[in-house]
Amino acid sequence: MASLLQVDRVQYVFDVDTQDSQSLSRLYFCIYCLGLRSSHNLLHEDDSHFCPQALDSLASAEAVSRKNKCSNSWRCPACLHTLSTRATSTISPPTTDSNKPTVKTVYYQSCTFCRWSTRSVGIDDKEVANDAWMEKENPSLPRINKLLEYYKYLEHKEKVEQARKSPIKKELMSVTMQLKQKYTSSKHSPGKKSMFGDSLSGALSSLRLKDVSSLKDVSIDASSTLALDDVEKLNTDVYKPVQFTAMTSTAQRLDQPGNQIIECSDLAPRRSQMFMKQSLRCKICDHNIIKPEYSPTSIKFKIHLIALNHIPDIRISKPSTLRAGERCQFVLSITNPTEHVIHATFLPMEETKHEINAKIELPTCDIVVGKFDDAAEFVDQLTSTNNTDDASIIAFRRGNKVGFYVHCTPDPALSPGDNVWVGMRFKHEHYGSAPLALLLKGGEVEKEPEPNWLTHSVFINLGKIQSSLE
Amino acid sequence: MPLYKGLGIGLGTDAHTIVLDLGEAYSKLGFAGEDQPRMVIPTTIETIDCATAIKFTSTIFQVVQSLTYSKTFFDKVFYKHLQVNPKLQRVIICESLLNPTKIREAVATVLFQHFEVPSIFFAPHHLLACFTIAVNTALVLDCSYRETLVIPVIENTPVLWGWQAAPLGAASIHHSIMDEILDKGKIQLEHNPATPVTQRLSDKVLEDIKVKACFVSEYERAKKIQSAKWSKEPIEEILQQKEMVYPLDGVTRLIIPSSIRENAAEVLFEQDNDQVSVATLVLDSLLNCPIDSRKELARNLLVTGGTSMLPGFRHRLLFELKELVQHEERYNSKLSECEFRVHNPPIHANLVGWLGASIFATLEAFQRKSITKEYFNQHNGKLPDWCATDITPPNEAILPPFKVKPRLSLPSAGTKRIKSESHHTKSES
């Protein structure tokens, strides 16, 4: 889709200092400070974590402790697609209690995308729809926990020894001790235990370093080493013909970093990963630019200031063949997304860091772009044509979209296959923000909005230089 | 909900320190104190046309371009995969000691200025690897995507003058697979007759063939293969299949000779014109070490890096070491008394560095030694490094002058006895 519409051909500058530019469809527009923003220069905030399959929602702290994994939804270990639970009934053989065979409902998981299922790898069907599935634990988890404990102990021991040696720290410790005695005892009224004093002394003693004697000794054996005779030799199985489809790919192996499975027959369902709902905030004015609704079932936004809804979109409407040093004609289109008629003025590009390798001749007069109208597509096209347009500038006019001619001369030094970039600025009035900003704040809408004039720098990739033979 | 955020997860708690191991091919992402990374993702960013690889460790590096790329990459790391707000988390990055300063500074610039992380710590991979096996002295071999790097670690101090590196890694295996396919492989489209392969295959396909089919053959057999390469004599086949069929997509199949399976990894062990192989790197590194530490180092060999996970790699390495020491003049005289033993780390070889960083980041020494944003700004975007003499690392700046520690030692694992020894070995050599 993105490459079909070629949205990356026209780049809007969102950072004046660094001249960083991006396609308008990826940019946001801050209606408070009237500037284009990109996700690179906005403040990210995580709102909530959610699972799009099970529609669970979690606060971020809880999600971190659950390793961002959903407890109800599983995904395929082979293709990482979501697994769906399938129910089927089995007939169990007659038991001693009843002579009739009983029909039971059992569940298994299967992937609708790659047809992998828990049955295909020989995992037994479960009698409960959820929860009965388990994820494999890292087999060396106890050893790693031991390592963590050991290094913490070493550090603590070293710290205690250092504190004992250094005179400065001893003094500091005694000061804290003195303070503690002074303040905790003075607040102590006889016969009545002060809650404050107790909690303070508790906090202080936990801050104090423990004595070496009270430290529990942790010892650890270095991990085992193997000599040549102990190291696993090459299994003779490797000489058998290789089945490419029976072996896991790197992506499947790395999906479970703890136990990297080599054969497809060992794959087991994995808990699916949660996603994060983020809101973005303008660094300059601290207003929210994007704010999703918290509920995982809703795909709506509370605040949704994307640039495409506010800023005229410039596209290449009709390309032409480019040859080095030859003047050629293009049709660019400008689309007005706002509910006000705008006047766009095109200006030449000033100095820029961006590579520009063609000269562009822009229309010298204003271009009037009609307002966006929901009903426009149902109105007969003929009635909306405007005969006052100069046919040498305006190529077509359709509702809120205007096509206009530009001429471009690529540098003669370019060779076939080189991308041709042109730069320009354009100025247009902007109405929407003031009433919208007021509405968001809860104020009343003024009757006659005052337009602001905005200027954008735009880089356009017109295409590649054709070879002269074509 | 978001109002209360930041109260619970303060800087003091180490549970949410982000642990990153940015490899050339794959990046491991996770949190401190956990037993395995949350995610292992390819170190690439996707553009509309194709997945573009961004490299943190290659020497050819365009800083300007990579700044935009690394922003996109870290966006993916923090918001999509780890799902945290980087402003609240400390970061530890596991890196090679030979990582160019420009790259570290570029990464630090992006993390500090763009993502506003409170602190970063760059830790050497080879030292961190020792944390996973609970020893102070080990000879660490890292066989990664582009190169193999051996650095001895003596008493928790990486001994830099003992480093040995060679461009032997996954990339060279992929290269030799590709060469053999171009030479003998065929492509078949549905039922048409097979045609020779003319175009290079993508790295992804080569990697897939490698992980699914290739192995490191045993020493004796490998010697036969190597000699047959020169004399062009056929060798006896052990592989039970002459040709294998690799499905490229729904309709095309790649027919490749089975000999690829054992020949491809030979590039790591056959000595090139400079007589360098993975095994000689280990021995040359040992020769550079102080005499009194050599036996200990040889007993504590630690093999890390994704490429070393090929079946048979460790067995072949030990066998090569034994044979080289017995038969090659340059090693025989000096290393004949060494017994080589290889460690069994508690995690797969490609994650050893990450696990070490995860363990180290739970310690308080990590917080003390981290580079804070203020420190980074004070020094005009420069980082302390073993090769930079004009910047003092944050922890040493605070210490009184009589207490200068050896620069690269991390204090956490050392006891009193160990420290005095480390001074000893350093001054002796």
In the prediction, which pLDDT does A182 show?
A: 52
Q: pLDDT for B110-160, tens place per residue?
A: 899 888 899 999 999 999 999 999 888 999 999 988 889 999 999 888 988
Cα distances (angstroms) measured from residue A341 to each of A313, A385, A399 = 14, 15, 11
Average of pLDDT values for A261-273? 86
Burial tier of B377 (Cβ tally within 10 Å: 0-12, 13-18, 19+) = exposed
* Domain co-membership, B118 together with B231: no
Contacts of B241 in chain A (CB under 8 A): 240-242
Residue B334 pLDDT greater than 80, yes or no: yes
Residue B23 pLDDT greater than 50, yes or no: yes
How many CB atoms are closer than 10 A to CB A240? 11
* Domain co-membership, B160 together with B284: yes
Average of pLDDT values for B348-372? 89
Share of chain B above pLDDT 70, in %: 82
Tell me which residues of chain B, numbers 136 to 195, contact chain A at a CB-CB cutoff of 8 Å: none
Is position B175 within any domain? yes
How many CB pairs below 8 A link A and B? 203
Residue A443 pLDDT greater than 70, yes or no: no
CB contact under 8 A, B68 and A20: yes
Residue A211 pLDDT greater than 60, yes or no: no
In the prediction, which pLDDT does A192 show?
A: 40
Which one has a higher pLDDT value, B2 or B164? B164
Domain boundary among B223, B242, B268: B268
In the prediction, which pLDDT does B141 show?
A: 94
Tell me which residues of chain B, numbers 24 to 53, contact chain A at a CB-CB cutoff of 8 Å: 26, 28, 31, 33, 35-41, 48-49
* Mean pLDDT computed over every residue of chain A: 79
Is position B426 within any domain? no
Average of pLDDT values for A182-210? 43
| CATH code where residue B337 lies | 3.30.420.40
Residue B219 pLDDT greater than 80, yes or no: yes
Q: What are the residue boundaries of the structural domains of chain A, listed by start? A: 2-24+310-464, 69-91+103-132+244-273
Contacts of A254 in chain B (CB under 8 A): 26, 40-41
* Domain co-membership, B149 together with B65: no
CB contact under 8 A, B212 and A44: no
Contacts of A154 in chain B (CB under 8 A): 412-415
* Range from A22-36, B5-19, B304-318 carrying the lowest mean pLDDT: B5-19
Contacts of B300 in chain A (CB under 8 A): 225
In the prediction, which pLDDT does A438 show?
A: 64
Which one has a higher pLDDT value, B3 or A247? A247
Tell me which residues of chain B, numbers 356 to 415, contact chain A at a CB-CB cutoff of 8 Å: 359-360, 362-365, 411-415
Q: Of the spans A252-266, A430-444, B386-400, which averages the highest pLDDT?
A: A252-266
CB contact under 8 A, B247 and A253: no
How far A291 CA sits from the closest chain B CA (Å)? Answer: 12
* Range from A93-107, A411-425, B3-17, B72-86 carrying the lowest mean pLDDT: B3-17
Residue A201 pLDDT greater than 60, yes or no: no
* Domain co-membership, B153 together with B39: no
* Domain co-membership, B101 together with B152: no
Is position B407 within any domain? no
* Domain co-membership, B220 together with B284: no
What is the rounded distance in angstroms from the CA atom of residue B301 to the CA atom of residue B280?
Answer: 14
User: Which chain B residue's Cα is nearest to A273?
Assistant: B81
Residue A122 pLDDT greater than 80, yes or no: yes
Residue A389 pLDDT greater than 80, yes or no: no
* Domain co-membership, B102 together with B18: yes
Residue B401 pLDDT greater than 50, yes or no: no
Which member of B84, B344, B348 has the closest CB to residue A260?
A: B348
Which member of A151, A233, A240 has the closest CB to residue B413?
A: A151
Best of B4, B249, B315, B352 to disrupt the A interface (most A CBs within 10 Å) is B315
In the prediction, which pLDDT does B249 show?
A: 83
The residue ranges of DSSP E strands in A305-436, in sequence order, are 313-318, 328-335, 342-348, 358-361, 367-369, 394-398, 401-410, 419-430
CB contact under 8 A, A258 and B360: no
* Domain co-membership, B180 together with B240: yes
Categorize the per-residue pLDDT at A350 as very low, low, confident or very high, splitting at 50, 70 and 90: confident
* Domain co-membership, B160 together with B281: yes
Q: Which domain holds residue B387?
A: 2-130+351-398
Which member of A152, A221, A231 has the closest CB to residue B314?
A: A231
In the prediction, which pLDDT does B353 show?
A: 93
Q: How many whole angstroms from its chain centre is CA B207? A: 17
User: Which chain B residue's Cα is nearest to A57?
Assistant: B1
Residue B363 pLDDT greater than 80, yes or no: yes
Q: What does the block give as tokens for A374?
A: 């929901």
Contacts of A224 in chain B (CB under 8 A): 343-344
Q: Does A189 touch chain B (CB under 8 A)?
A: no
In the prediction, which pLDDT does B2 show?
A: 40
Is position B140 within any domain? yes
Contacts of A303 in chain B (CB under 8 A): none
* Domain co-membership, B23 together with B89: yes
* Domain co-membership, B238 together with B379: no
* Domain co-membership, B373 together with B337: no
Residue B418 pLDDT greater than 80, yes or no: no
Which member of B133, B208, B211 has the closest CB to residue A223?
A: B133
